Chains A and B, each alone.
Chain A
Amino acid sequence: MSAASELAQRALREKPGIKRYDSTDAVTARAPQGVQGARAKKLLAARALGSPERLRRFDSADHYARAAAAAPPAPAPAPSGKWLSWCAVAAGLVARHGCSLHPYSGEATPPRFGDYEAHRHWMEVTIHKPLADWYAYDVDYWGLDYPPAMAYLEYALGKLSHIIDPASVALETSRGYEAAGHRAWMRGSVLALDGLVFCSAVVALSGRLYGAGRDRAAAILAALLSPALVLVDHGHFQYNCVPLGLALWSAVMVDARRPLAAAALFCLALNAKQTALYFAPAVFCELLGRALAGGGAFAAAGEARGPRAAAPRVLALGGVVVGCFGLCWLPLAAAGAAGDALRRCFPVERGVFEDKVANFWYAAQVVLRVRDRAAPGALVAAAAALTFVAAFGPAGWRCYRVAAGRAAPSLRGLLWSLHAGALAFFLFSYHVHEKGIIVAAAPLAALHGDAPEYAAGFALLAAFSMLPLLHFEGLAVAYGALCALYAATLPRSRRPRARVAGLAAFALVHALPALAPPPARYPDLYPALAALAAGPLFGLAWLYASLMAATCDDKAKAG
């Protein structure tokens, strides 16, 4: 580790007033303790896995026929189901708005507050400071660490905020500004962006996957009520709906045989938040596989197959990617701030994981004390290698099968691939936050109708894995209500008893800390146990999702 990054890390650690809801260091010093989690693991295993035999609904020859058609016609919505779908959208927005009435991260906790203050601060900085200073201005107080597209969005929101209430984004003097009216504006901005970008993508995907009528409405409702997605954006406070929605829109465009638009949208998602990178292998492999396959999988009917024919298509895609990134980064580069921005966006000095996150690195630290034994540089390299294998493995396999014409490239397969790739990043990549699980939850939410039990189990487990954070932020009531709402609106199960048992077990796990209070020596026992129990389950989910991504649109099965 360089001296500079060591200094930066120490400064970050010693910064006064940074209040964490718990401290990783305190617990890792006491590890290993994972043995005690075996019972909880078993309980949760029942929830997360679901039943593979429920995944067959989409296996129809119709999908290959659609892939071969020049422009696949979108199913015409039956008018009777139209209002039902709108009902589902409205219900999703009502739940989001209800959640936004609860506390946000760092509410009324000076001097640093939380993510809400961070976003407000970025609005303040972007509208008052020249572009060159955006990524350099007082980085110790919530320095901007999002890619440029989000910075431009913050600028636009800041301008609006300035019109409504100039005090809310006044330079320096507005730090910690928490007026009720401004809170409504901030919450409203997330709600509006969520509705415009993410909810609209869900509506578009549900129409392509489930036609019209009740199936579509049910799919929309299940996707929009997925508790983890609602809680992070509208409870904790972030704008994940923008990158996630753009990535889902990109999937819609892939399915609509408009690959260049898909690439542009995905680049925009990447430039809105680094975590969209979790989707990159899947999107890359999908577009590459389709370009190689030709024959209507990529853009138009009658295209030739093979590398030679695909070269112009791949070049066109590359051109779009370079163009989009250029558009986003040129203003920064012109102002001489691109280097600052890159360093702020990829903070390798911030450690291999943060807090108790349900992934491989946290478990490896607890069991093998990896972080204490290995050098940070080696950890970065190991994380990169593991992530590469775990993410590109299934996506690459899928790419090969699509390119070779062994699989019909379907929207379902793409969404499974996005889900599996995001899980690989969540499990193995560097500096993962527990909130990162929502990146994996987003594409799966749209697939609810295909694997209802798995999707429901995953959605609840994703929310559960964030419970320590949410509880710390005063979102326990919202968490409980949203999980119960989600469980109550799930479509009827084919195995109702198994579902009731699973849900009862899920509810019981929450009562454990009250029934058996943690010993005084291990105050963070339960958050640690939750992370250690959820981690392996996410690992199993990754295996399952990889399998689905690689095989779900198998031509042999479809025939």
Chain B
Amino acid sequence: MAVAAPSPTSGSTSPTGGGTYWRVFVACACVKILFWPSYHSTDFEVHRNWLAVTASTPMAYWYADQPKQSPWTLDYPPLFGVFERFLSYFAKLADPMIVEPQNLDYAAWSCVAFQRFTVVAAELACLGGGVAVASGGAPEFAVLFAGPGLASLFVVDHVHFQYNGVFLGVLACCAGFLVKGQHVRAAVAFTLLMCMKHLFLTLAPFFGVYLLFAHVLAEKTTLGEKVLRLVDLGAAVTATAAASLAPLVVPAFHDRGGLAGVGAAVVELKGRLFPFGDRGLVHSYWAPNAWALYAFLDRVAMKASGREGGGATRGVVETQIEYLPAPGPLHCALLTLLAAAPALLAAARTASTQSGARGIALPALAHACLAAFAFGWHVHEKFLIVALVPLAFLALGKGPAGSSEGSRMLDAKLYRHVARLATFAMLPLLPSPGPELATKVLVLALEECCLRALLDRPPGCPCCGDSPATLLETLLEGAHLAVLLSLFLLKEVVYPLLLPADLAARLEFLPLMLTSVYCAAWVSALSLLSAGRLLYVAYRADASAW
């Protein structure tokens, strides 16, 4: 990993760079294979069940409730179901027991190895391929994306168990298309992404506004051209969406009696994809976003008012707001839109010129991701990784042409901070104590060293002398690291080893809450910074002002 990592000063365009890019990905894949026997969460069984459901149920009934079904019903869009169906053919070859729907909680080594292998292979293909397309195969991108520089993805995919690498690969591809000005391809890739995981719908407003200004309303085009561009963009998106939904709709039309069957299937799909009734505003472990701060305020206000709450959590996976006004999904959507407004505004102001469109794509996309994370309904901590994709491109110098060296340094710092917070916020997903303690310490350490080696400017660089500001920053960062370290020790050492058991049980969620709130404050501050920079871009109507 580190050998292949070029020093920050070496160019990324060496003729031999392509081989190194894939060697880094392959080396990291080997490390991921080493972690196969590691702990896996219930998501492992969720995906095993999806393999079984998609393999054994007719496509028209994928989203219909079955008389005897696992609690982990398919709740991703049909395109992801097709992916699981594709994997299930190989699962049958590896071990037919994997795709038995009634074989709940099956976790023999054959099953673990097969499912873990699919994650590694899918990530290698999608993330490796997507980032290669977007970056031209520069090795430092491999170091950032393959694992050492994106430990949060490693934790959530290869330990916890999910397929986020697939989505991030498509998103990286999409970002690459935007930067290259290939708008129709970007629109198609983004539509595919939404049809694989509907969570990415939260980025749709950004893509809508951006493509409207960059593609349809591009300067120096006649009205006729504008109409034609709108038509080809619309046609591409509609065709992709139709093709993605076809695996559900066409069989439903055939097998379930025409349009009525299609309607029933779509209603089932909607119920599974948007279970607003069943899922609350925040998860029981609060993702470090604005709602974590709000929920914390709610707890404080409740204590202050002396009212007793009905218990902090409801069910296993959510927390309720009990004292302050509880927002609904619509409020979340409106607030997300409001938070994304600087990105939309900046895109609207700059994207109609070619250089502006290319320059603003990544900063605005990154901010749209941060905004969606900040105010999304029932957002998981892993959505923060989504924001890391455009931030990584910015950090590695793909920012707007003509922007200052200071802004590039800021981008690198932003990536490092968000990546660190994302990893830190991901750690409570793993159990403690146990071998996962070493996993946590080591992935944090590897990511920190890797990002410092890759993104830190060498000392003596003219942009960052030993000014008082640098000293202050070093001190602040030291304090920040000290707080993170104490939170980590509180959760991993003090609670399991030093605290009396009854006290630890009574205050069970305290370390998690403190972690969430502290990380949330940081992420919010960094999002505000990004909003400020975008508003300045919008005010100047010049992407290079980023």
B453 contacts partner chain A, Cβ-Cβ < 8 Å: yes
Task: Tell me the chain A residues, 183-223 only, with Cβ under 8 Å from chain B.
Answer: 183-184, 187-188, 191, 213-214, 217-218, 221-222
Residues of B within 8 Å of A98, CB to CB, are 31, 34-35, 38
Q: CB-nearest residue of chain B relative to A480?
A: B33
Cross-chain contact A94 with B453 (CB below 8 angstroms): no
CB distance from A71 to the nearest CB of B (A): 27
Residue-wise, chain B 4-47 has the 8 Å CB interface mask toward A (1 for contact) of 11011100000010001001001100110111111000000000
Among A84, A478, A490, the residue within 8 A (CB) of B5 is A84
Residues of B within 8 Å of A102, CB to CB, are 34, 37
B401 contacts partner chain A, Cβ-Cβ < 8 Å: no
Residues of A within 8 Å of B23, CB to CB, are 488-489
Residues of B within 8 Å of A228, CB to CB, are none
Cross-chain contact B435 with A101 (CB below 8 angstroms): yes
Cross-chain contact B4 with A489 (CB below 8 angstroms): yes
**Stretch from A56-64, A85-93, A137-145, A296-304 contacting the other chain:** A85-93
Cross-chain contact B30 with A91 (CB below 8 angstroms): no
Residues of B within 8 Å of A97, CB to CB, are 435, 438-439, 442
Among B20, B30, B438, B459, the residue within 8 A (CB) of A481 is B30
Residues of A within 8 Å of B443, CB to CB, are 94
CB distance from A84 to the nearest CB of B (A): 5
Known interface pairs A94-B31, A213-B7; A87-B435 also in contact (CB < 8 Å): no
Cross-chain contact B30 with A485 (CB below 8 angstroms): yes
Residue-wise, chain A 163-182 has the 8 Å CB interface mask toward B (1 for contact) of 00000000000000000110
B458 contacts partner chain A, Cβ-Cβ < 8 Å: yes
Most buried by B among A79, A101, A478, A480: A101
Cross-chain contact A100 with B148 (CB below 8 angstroms): no
Residues of A within 8 Å of B433, CB to CB, are 181, 184
A81 contacts partner chain B, Cβ-Cβ < 8 Å: yes
Cross-chain contact B445 with A484 (CB below 8 angstroms): no
Task: Tell me the chain B residues, 443-461 only, with Cβ under 8 Å from chain A.
Answer: 443, 445-446, 449-450, 452-453, 456, 458-459
Cross-chain contact B34 with A101 (CB below 8 angstroms): yes
Residues of A within 8 Å of B67, CB to CB, are none
B113 contacts partner chain A, Cβ-Cβ < 8 Å: yes
Q: CB-nearest residue of chain A relative to B434?
A: A184
B223 contacts partner chain A, Cβ-Cβ < 8 Å: no
Which range contains the number of A residues in contact with the other chain? 35 or more
Among B33, B38, B434, B438, the residue within 8 A (CB) of A477 is B33
Residues of A within 8 Å of B459, CB to CB, are 79-80
Cross-chain contact A481 with B7 (CB below 8 angstroms): no
A539 contacts partner chain B, Cβ-Cβ < 8 Å: no
Known interface pairs A84-B5, A488-B23; A478-B452 also in contact (CB < 8 Å): no
| Alpha-carbon gap, A84 to B434, bound state (A) | 29
A346 contacts partner chain B, Cβ-Cβ < 8 Å: no
Residue-wise, chain A 41-85 has the 8 Å CB interface mask toward B (1 for contact) of 000000000000000000000000000000000000001110110
A482 contacts partner chain B, Cβ-Cβ < 8 Å: yes
How many residue pairs link A and B with beta carbons under 8 A? The number is 125
Residues of B within 8 Å of A89, CB to CB, are 449
Known interface pairs A87-B446, A94-B442; A184-B4 also in contact (CB < 8 Å): no
B472 contacts partner chain A, Cβ-Cβ < 8 Å: no
CB distance from A98 to the nearest CB of B (A): 3
Residues of B within 8 Å of A477, CB to CB, are 33, 36, 113
Residues of A within 8 Å of B453, CB to CB, are 83-84, 86-87
Residue-wise, chain A 487-511 has the 8 Å CB interface mask toward B (1 for contact) of 0111110000000000000000000
A95 contacts partner chain B, Cβ-Cβ < 8 Å: yes
| Alpha-carbon gap, A549 to B532, bound state (A) | 64
Cross-chain contact B449 with A83 (CB below 8 angstroms): yes
| Alpha-carbon gap, A188 to B438, bound state (A) | 7
CB distance from A552 to the nearest CB of B (A): 24
Among A88, A181, A187, A482, the residue within 8 A (CB) of B30 is A482
Residues of B within 8 Å of A93, CB to CB, are 442, 445-446
Q: CB-nearest residue of chain B relative to A220?
A: B2
A99 contacts partner chain B, Cβ-Cβ < 8 Å: yes
Known interface pairs A97-B442, A98-B31, A217-B3; A181-B434 also in contact (CB < 8 Å): yes
Cross-chain contact B36 with A95 (CB below 8 angstroms): no
Residues of B within 8 Å of A485, CB to CB, are 27, 30-31, 34
Cross-chain contact A83 with B446 (CB below 8 angstroms): no
CB distance from A137 to the nearest CB of B (A): 31
| Alpha-carbon gap, A510 to B284, bound state (A) | 48
B242 contacts partner chain A, Cβ-Cβ < 8 Å: no
B87 contacts partner chain A, Cβ-Cβ < 8 Å: no
Residue-wise, chain A 115-128 has the 8 Å CB interface mask toward B (1 for contact) of 00000000000000
CB distance from B461 to the nearest CB of A (A): 10
| Alpha-carbon gap, A491 to B2, bound state (A) | 10
Cross-chain contact B27 with A489 (CB below 8 angstroms): yes
Residues of B within 8 Å of A99, CB to CB, are 34
Cross-chain contact B7 with A94 (CB below 8 angstroms): no
Cross-chain contact A80 with B31 (CB below 8 angstroms): no
B501 contacts partner chain A, Cβ-Cβ < 8 Å: no
| Alpha-carbon gap, A491 to B1, bound state (A) | 10
| Alpha-carbon gap, A99 to B442, bound state (A) | 13
Known interface pairs A80-B7, A492-B16; A90-B449 also in contact (CB < 8 Å): yes
Known interface pairs A83-B456, A84-B2, A213-B7; A91-B148 also in contact (CB < 8 Å): yes
Cross-chain contact A218 with B3 (CB below 8 angstroms): yes
Q: CB-nearest residue of chain A relative to B27?
A: A488
Cross-chain contact B437 with A184 (CB below 8 angstroms): yes
| Alpha-carbon gap, A490 to B9, bound state (A) | 21
Q: CB-nearest residue of chain A relative to B143?
A: A87
| Alpha-carbon gap, A83 to B7, bound state (A) | 10
Known interface pairs A101-B435, A217-B3; A90-B30 also in contact (CB < 8 Å): no
Cross-chain contact B31 with A95 (CB below 8 angstroms): yes
Known interface pairs A100-B435, A492-B16; A91-B446 also in contact (CB < 8 Å): yes
| Alpha-carbon gap, A183 to B449, bound state (A) | 28
CB distance from B96 to the nearest CB of A (A): 21
| Alpha-carbon gap, A222 to B35, bound state (A) | 20
Known interface pairs A101-B34, A184-B433, A492-B16; A221-B3 also in contact (CB < 8 Å): yes
Residues of A within 8 Å of B16, CB to CB, are 492
Q: CB-nearest residue of chain A relative to B38?
A: A101
Residue-wise, chain A 212-252 has the 8 Å CB interface mask toward B (1 for contact) of 01100110011000000000000000000000000000000
CB distance from B95 to the nearest CB of A (A): 16
| Alpha-carbon gap, A411 to B159, bound state (A) | 42
Residues of A within 8 Å of B445, CB to CB, are 90, 93
Q: CB-nearest residue of chain A relative to B445?
A: A90
| Alpha-carbon gap, A213 to B453, bound state (A) | 11
Residues of B within 8 Å of A87, CB to CB, are 1-2, 5, 148, 446, 449-450, 453
CB distance from B31 to the nearest CB of A (A): 6
| Alpha-carbon gap, A79 to B464, bound state (A) | 15
| Alpha-carbon gap, A83 to B438, bound state (A) | 20
Cross-chain contact A91 with B7 (CB below 8 angstroms): no
| Alpha-carbon gap, A102 to B9, bound state (A) | 39
| Alpha-carbon gap, A98 to B443, bound state (A) | 11
Cross-chain contact B2 with A88 (CB below 8 angstroms): yes
Task: Tell me the chain A residues, 451-482 only, with Cβ under 8 Å from chain B.
Answer: 477-478, 480-482
| Alpha-carbon gap, A80 to B3, bound state (A) | 14
Residues of B within 8 Å of A480, CB to CB, are 33
| Alpha-carbon gap, A102 to B23, bound state (A) | 24
A-B pairs with lowest CB-CB distance, top 10: A98-B34, A485-B30, A83-B453, A87-B2, A488-B27, A90-B446, A481-B33, A86-B449, A83-B452, A184-B435
Would you list 16 pairs from A and B whose C-beta atoms are within 8 A, ordered by A residue? Answer: A80-B7, A86-B453, A87-B2, A87-B446, A90-B450, A94-B442, A98-B34, A181-B433, A184-B433, A184-B435, A221-B1, A222-B3, A481-B30, A489-B4, A489-B23, A492-B20
Given contact pairs A80-B458, A488-B30, enumerate 4 new A-B contacts (beta carbons under 8 Å): A86-B449, A91-B2, A181-B433, A187-B435
Residues on A facing B (Cβ under 8 Å)? 79-81, 83-84, 86-91, 93-95, 97-102, 180-181, 183-184, 187-188, 191, 213-214, 217-218, 221-222, 477-478, 480-482, 484-485, 488-492
